[in-house]
Amino acid sequence: MSAPLRIGLLGASRIAELAIIEASRDTGDVRAAVAARDPERARVFASKHDFESSHADYEALIADESLDLLYIGLPNGLHAEWTVKALRAGRSVLVEKPFAANLGEFDVVAAELERARGWAWEAFHYADHPLMSRLLDVVRSGEIGELREVQVAMLMPSPPATDPRWNFELAGGTMMDLGCYAVNALLVLADALALPVSLATATGVPHEPDARLDASIAAELRLGDVPATLRASMVSAEWEFSYRVIGERGEVRSPNFVKPQEDDRLLVTVGSETREERTGTISSYAYQLRRIREALHAGERSAAELDRSRRTMELIDAIYTLSGFPLRPGSKELHDAATA
């Protein structure tokens, strides 16, 4: 095992508690520093979660050369902007999904990575858990037969009206918060089977207070010739983060592929028999942090992973366009750079 990372947080956020604070308790990485818009909030957060220090602002944090990894858990519309700033300061970054507000922003980040000393990873933590690896193994083994259909559902009750996920300028909306998981997970399966992915149809229901935002989205894609259904909603009556792969002889299903630490079951049905496999409730965030530590120390810069992140963003933009929603605006600074 390589040396622990010294980690700094941009944003004293709720998601940082899962992605870094709880995960680092498992991995042994060092909670080194925090910065927030309000310095006092950063100080309190640092004290509560046993960080060594807090910084006055984001700029001071990204200038801190004692840090090995910065975690960006800011609202979506700020992800790309601060990733670029951190890369320009020589830092490496774990940035919350989605990587950017739109494909143009993503390409600005990708261009920065070509000349950066550090690297950036998108936080699709679910893919690092053994549950996803085992699901892919079952599909590739031929146990359920030739692929016939894939279904992914990302559904949750509505966040409060003041939540940044309902803010268009901050790149909110259902596809940005939930649908990105479904798109990325379809690409993970498609890549494992060497299948191209295409978008066929997409429809959405607007968020009533701001019709630019999607309250729910339904899309039909194809993995090669295989139909794939994507459902995402932030106004559902219930929670559901499920992944189902149907073959000619059976199916494999995860009831909660995004949070296997809460439900690690993998259900494999062939004919009339269903087998339950357990893949372990160690946090997917801990698996993610361990992988990134090893990659960072080894100097790995995964072109394949970056390409999948780009295709994820490209499909999100395509789903928005096809369903009649505007693309998220993102950072004006990065937009100007992308269109210059």
Q: Which residues are catalytic?
A: 97
Q: Are 235 and 158 in contact (CB under 8 A)?
A: yes
- Name the residue with tokens 């160690």: 282
The SS3 call for residue 157 is coil
By DSSP bridging, strand 210-223 and strand 226-233 are: antiparallel
Provide CB contacts within 8 A for 183, sequence distance 6+.
175, 230, 312, 315, 316, 319
**Tokens standing for 97?**
């999904």
Handedness of CA 327, 197, 227, 137 (dihedral sign): negative
Q: Is the CB of residue 214 less than 8 Å from the CB of residue 203?
A: no
Q: What is the rounded end-to-end Cα distance, in angstroms, of the chain?
A: 44
| Buried/exposed 155-194: b ≥16 CB within 10 Å, e otherwise | bbeeeeeeebbbbbebbbbbbbbbbbbbbbbbbbbbbeee
| Distance from chain centroid for Cα 134 | 20
Evaluate whether 255 touches 267 at the Cβ level (below 8 Å): yes
